[in-house]
Amino acid sequence: MTSRLLLCFSLCALLTLQVSASPAHANTSGDAGGTGPGAAGPPTSTPLRRFALVIGSNNGGNVREQLRYAGHDANTIADVLRQLGGVNQVDLSLLSEPEARDVDRAFDAMSERVRTERKRGQRVELVVYYSGHADDTGILLGGAHYDYARLRQRIRDVPADVHIAIVDSCASGSFTRMKGGSRMPPFLRDSSNQVQGFAFLSSSSADEDAQESDRIGASFFTYFFVAGLRGAADRNHDGKITLTEAYQFSYEQTLGRTQNTAHGPQHPAYDMHLSGTGDVVITDLRSTDSTLVLPSALRGRITVVDKSGRVAVELTKDAGEALSLALPNETYSVHVENSAGEFVATVTLDRGGELAFEQGTLHRVSPEKTVARGVAHAGPELEARDDDEGDDGDDGDDGDAGDAGKPGKHKHKHDRGARSPWYRHIGASFGGGIRVERPQTPTSFDALVTLGGTSREVHGNPVIGVAETGDLSLGATLGHKVGFAYDMSIGFGPGVFLGDNLQVGATIGFGFSGITGGLLEFAWKVPTEAFVILELSPELRPMAYLRQDYLFGPDSRKNGSKLAKWGDEAEAGAGLRFSGKLDGFVYGSLREMAGVRYWGVGIGALL
């Protein structure tokens, strides 16, 4: 019996040792769970190290116009690779406005590090990104030509298992076409990481311009590629964004958003030579500190804007499934546009983990209505835009996208090419309101009550644009004598854009005013006005103005203001235009006519 017990114990101990040593329980992957970037399937026994070379160059030399957002595109790619893409800071090389020799040195240094620091059994992946000017034979670095054959060879010379290159520039499809790549729909692969070889992606095909937008402050392709890496491309909701998912999302979104631009649709392309099975995970949403979870019921065009006013993520979401977005800790405004209207809410990410977005915090906003001048009707999808957006929907925040005449990495034009790439439109219009004015000294009436509105705006290309003013009000006096009041004027002049948020205008025009019943005789007038608009946000615009009028009429109204340094009447005021849960305005004024000062206050809804 004792010998049998000893035999049983021995067999059990042997079985336990075999089970504990089984590969099913081994875990030597690059992250604790074996599901970090580069591992799209079950845990593997191969650790991963990822290197990245990110290049941004706005300068295309003397023959190319300066780009605006290539450097920013490079920074956003670098940020998302550090935060979600498994690239350590020491393994990231970020080059801004480099020369050709700087790029060669960076490749040499990266190749040397991979050779000397690579551990036995370690998988190495290389990501190379370029944003800037290019033509059909190569990229441009400070005006110097760096041909595609040289770039491809330098990438492949780095001793990595997988080489991923992304070129966001005009005619970048030539970079992929050299080895047989062409304009193609999104590719499909399975979800393993046992892959070797290279994947070269380009933002446009060989004969197309890559376009950047003032509204989003980036190129279309990089903008949507980064949005995809932050979670918008996670169609299977596994918390990991593969190369397939990121390319598919950016392909569809870039093509869709450039259909009606001046340069036409932009087709991303790729050249894939990956052996093995599956795809490569680029970002892991679970590796970030904070995640914003959009509820399953939320639907429509969703735009997440950071506190600086720059768009962080933009996507179209259908109802039915929740969606997670990995974002840095910050305060964001979430804009939602769907068939029910336009809505906005503020959300703050200030702690780790997931934050569920509360759909109930959304409040309706009403875009200021405008009419495009000399342009065909935009269509239903583009009608519900802010007054500062154009027909293609890519020029908000008073910045437009477009530049039909610019070589290199083009912007597309506002209103389908009708306006320049820098066109802006800043207004502070009040309408549908009431103003009550009380005379400072006793007169034959107690108050003047008028209905109507006033408009002040600056539009055009910074730094000098066009300023416009207009007033239309009708009303009556209240008190001992009752008279009908009317006031109409319109003015034009230069406007100055002082930075992104401050605009100043000065106008001169014509008009007329008066109060019947002998209270204020009719007179033609030439109003001169100076005003300033401060755009704190698209929903909040304070303004102030000073106006003085020359009169052509009876002597009783001549020289009727001690406040006027020139002219016969004067008015000054300040107001606030706001939108959100309440859409409207409020302002105060002081004006002097026929020797009488009137203190007024106005309030009402937006036109």
Q: Residue 600: in which H helix or E strand, if any?
A: strand 596-604
Give the Cα separation of 286 and 37 in Å (integer).
10
| Dihedral-angle region of residue 28 (phi above 0 means left; psi in -120 to 50 means alpha; beta otherwise) | alpha
Give the Cα separation of 486 and 85 in Å (integer).
65
Q: For residue 118, which amino acid is it?
A: R
CATH topology for 23-286 is: Rossmann fold (3.40.50)
Q: What CATH number matches the domain at 425-604, 1.10.3110, 3.40.50, 2.40.128, 2.60.40?
A: 2.40.128
When pLDDT is averaged across residues 100-116 and rounded to a whole number, the result is: 95
Q: Tell me if 440 sits within 8 A of 286, measured CB to CB.
A: no
Q: Tell me if 341 sits within 8 A of 385, measured CB to CB.
A: no
Give the Cα separation of 52 and 90 in Å (integer).
10
- The distance in angstroms from the start CA to the end CA of the chain is 99
Q: For residue 518, which amino acid is it?
A: G
DSSP 375-425: -----GGGTS--TT--TTS---TT-----TT--SSEEPPTTTTTS-TT-EE
Q: What is the pLDDT, as a whole number, of residue 44?
A: 45
Give the Cα separation of 371 and 444 in Å (integer).
43
Q: What is the pLDDT, as a whole number, of residue 90?
A: 94
Q: Domain locations in the chain?
A: 23-286, 291-365, 425-604
Q: What CATH number matches the domain at 291-365, 3.30.70, 3.10.450, 2.60.40, 3.90.320?
A: 2.60.40
DSSP 443-482: -SSSEEEEEEEEEEEEEESSSEEEEEEEEEEEEEEESSS-
Sheet holding 341-348, edge to edge: 311-317, 300-306, 331-338, 341-348, 363-365
Give the Cα separation of 412 and 402 in Å (integer).
2
Give the Cα separation of 188 and 237 in Å (integer).
16
> CB neighbours (10 Å) of residue 574?
15
pLDDT one-digit tens code per residue, 20-36: 333 333 333 333 333 33
Summary mean pLDDT of the chain: 75
Give the Cα separation of 388 and 254 in Å (integer).
21
When pLDDT is averaged across residues 250-263 and rounded to a whole number, the result is: 65
Q: Indicate whether 158 pLDDT > 90.
A: yes
Q: Return the beta strands (E) in 113-177 as ranges.
A: 123-132, 138-141, 144-147, 162-168
When pLDDT is averaged across residues 131-149 and rounded to a whole number, the result is: 84
Q: For residue 178, which amino acid is it?
A: M
Q: What is the pLDDT, as a whole number, of residue 563?
A: 85
- Residue 256 banded pLDDT, cuts 50, 70, 90: low
Say which residues have a Cβ less than 8 Å from residue 417's Cβ, sequence separation at least 6.
Answer: 262, 402, 404
Q: Tell me if 416 sits within 8 A of 401, measured CB to CB.
A: no
Q: What is the pLDDT, as a whole number, of residue 136?
A: 73
Give the Cα separation of 411 and 16 in Å (integer).
66
Q: What is the pLDDT, as a whole number, of residue 340?
A: 84
- Residue 393 banded pLDDT, cuts 50, 70, 90: very low
When pLDDT is averaged across residues 585-607 and rounded to a whole number, the result is: 87
